[in-house]
Amino acid sequence: MSWIHGSVRSQLRTYAKRILIGGTATAAGFVAAYRNDLTQLQFDTFSAFGPFLRLLDAESSHNVAVWTAKHGIVPRDRRPDIASLGISVWGREFPNPIGLAAGFDKDADGVKGLLGMGFGFVEVGTITPLPQPGNPKPRCFRLPELGGIINRYGFNSLGVDAVSQRLETLRQQGLVGPSTPQAPRGLVGVNLGKNKTSEDAAADYSVGVKKLGQFADYLVINISSPNTPGLRALQGRKELEKLVKRVKNTRDQMQWGARGPPPLLIKLAPDLTDTDKSDIATVCLRLGVDGLVVSNTTITRPGAVADHPTGSEVGGLSGKPLLELSTAALADMYRLTKGKLPIIGCGGVSSGEDAYRKIRAGATLVQLYTALAYEGPSIVPKMKQQLAACLEADGFTSVQEAVGVDHRIKQS
């Protein structure tokens, strides 16, 4: 075991001691705790293997996690969601507002398993028109003491054709596509990107719309990753206006079923200036963008991240250190759009209380990613229970009642 990091060896010894010392009393307590909830036992047992998975480097453990979802080696939650968590957005019925952010399942490899874990929706991608390898490895780095990750993947993608085939298979299995009460389907968002060497970003995003829009409950134009050169420049007013017009025109010229076209969202960075935010809000409202995702990773290194040995790595920072910055950006965009656009709140969410903060700040839906990497599948049911408790404690009977409530309090 000499190859295992010292802190990990110490942690494993601690786990072993707990198992050995606990004895019969621990076993009895264990049985009593899970006697009436075998589903939770599955989630907690699976998540207990997290420290062993993290013996691998960050990208390898990520790949293993996606593999387990692909092959159904993940816990499945068949329990109905708490009624207060259901919400209707864009004519879609979300059983709960907790979703998995883009970046985890980049190529729609594990959608079935991930939806089965109890997420209200799963966003796949980022997907580029042509396959591309992304940036050189290593390109993903943990900051475990801070609950953060820095990545510079660079839109590694199998491309739209490969992902289209996978989503078509899921549709034939009845797992994606139009949902009805008689035939419920998983809700899947598709996050679109541009190829690194492409000189026509709008054409790239339009390809994604044409090839993948038919499978999507919503589409996301990702113009905020810090790991593709020049991408964030598309958030400028003139550039964004040109981009949205072309991509939206592509979508609107296509033939859609009774549900109509998939909603078109823009994913934003948390590092925008006040002028940038105001310009983006103006463009999105004027051109009829259907929603926002706020936010992507940050290129800043707030607080203790700057002093962390890994903090100097180039790339986007996600996880707990991003919570304050991303939530502030979310609140700004809700205010600037006057609450007219549904917003998916993303960045630093690691508990039901964090999700509730995002909702009060203006989020209609919430996503996580880094917290799943650290805590495993058990975080999904835990977050839903915590969120429901927060709603009940403040007298809300639904998520919708709490959306943007902090703004209403300030105005009163």
Q: Give the mean pLDDT of 86-113.
A: 95
Whether pLDDT at 412 is above 70: no
**Model pLDDT for residues 140-152, shown as the tens digit of each residue:** 999 999 999 999 9
Task: Give residue 23's pLDDT.
Answer: 44
Whole-number average pLDDT of the chain: 89
Whether pLDDT at 16 is above 70: no
Concatenated DSSP letters for 355-396? HHHHHHHT-SEEEESHHHHHH-TTHHHHHHHHHHHHHHHTT-
Q: Give the mean pLDDT of 221-240.
A: 84
**Model pLDDT for residues 242-292, shown as the tens digit of each residue:** 999 999 999 999 999 888 999 999 999 999 999 999 999 999 999 999 999
Q: Give the mean pLDDT of 317-321.
A: 96
Q: pLDDT > 70: what percent of the chain?
A: 89
Task: Give residue 53's pLDDT.
Answer: 86
Task: Give residue 24's pLDDT.
Answer: 43
Q: Is the peptide bond between 250 and the residue preceding it cis, with omega within 30 degrees of 0?
A: no
Q: Give the mean pLDDT of 90-99.
A: 95
Q: Give the mean pLDDT of 101-124.
A: 95
Annotation says 295 is catalytic: no
Task: Give residue 296's pLDDT.
Answer: 93
Q: Give the mean pLDDT of 352-376.
A: 97
Q: pLDDT > 90: what percent of the chain?
A: 75
| Residues whose CB is less than 8 angstroms from the CB of residue 111 and which lie 6 or more positions away in sequence, other chains included | 69, 105, 122, 124, 166, 167, 170, 175, 176, 186, 188
Q: Angle between the 160-172 and 201-212 helix axes, to the nearest 10 degrees? A: 20
Q: Give the mean pLDDT of 128-132.
A: 97
Whether pLDDT at 20 is above 70: no
Task: Give residue 336's pLDDT.
Answer: 97
Task: Give residue 27's pLDDT.
Answer: 47
Task: Give residue 21's pLDDT.
Answer: 44
Q: Give the mean pLDDT of 328-333.
A: 97
Whether pLDDT at 80 is above 80: yes
Long-range contacts of 65-68 (CB under 8 A, 24+ apart): 65/104, 65/373, 66/104, 66/105, 66/109, 66/110, 67/109, 67/110, 68/110, 68/113
pTM: 0.89
Handedness of CA 338, 344, 349, 354 (dihedral sign): positive
Q: Give the mean pLDDT of 37-48.
A: 84
Q: Give the mean pLDDT of 368-375.
A: 94
What single-letter DSSP state applies at residue 71? T
Query: How far is Cα 325 from Cα 271, in angstroms, rounded to an integer?
Result: 8
Task: Give residue 22's pLDDT.
Answer: 45
Kindly report which listed range (32-46, 53-67, 209-223, 289-303) carries the lowest average pLDDT score. Answer: 32-46
Whether pLDDT at 162 is above 90: yes
Task: Give residue 184's pLDDT.
Answer: 54
Among residues 61, 225, 295, 378, which one is catalytic? 225
The residues pairing with 343 across neighbouring beta strands, listed in sequence order, are 292
Whether pLDDT at 17 is above 50: no
